[in-house]
Amino acid sequence: MIDRRRWLDRFVEVFARQMAQRTSRRSVLTRFGSFLVGATLPVLPVARAAEDGRLPPPDDAALKGDAGDPKSCNYWRHCAIDGFLCACCGGSQNACPPGTEMSPVTWIGTCRHPGDGKDYIISYNDCCGQSLCLRCRCTRTEGEKPLYFTSKNNDLLWCFGTKSRAVNCSVAVVLGVATRS
Distance CA 135, CA 88 (A): 6
- What's the CA gap between 12 and 179, in Å, rounded? 55
Q: Report d(CA 56, CA 130) in Å as an integer.
A: 29
End-to-end CA distance of the chain: 59
Catalytic option among 76, 82, 126, 158: 126
Q: Is 126 a catalytic residue?
A: yes
**Torsion sign (Cα): 44, 49, 53, 59:** positive
Is 107 an annotated catalytic residue?
Answer: yes
Active-site entry in 3, 69, 82, 107? 107
Q: Which residues are catalytic?
A: 107, 126
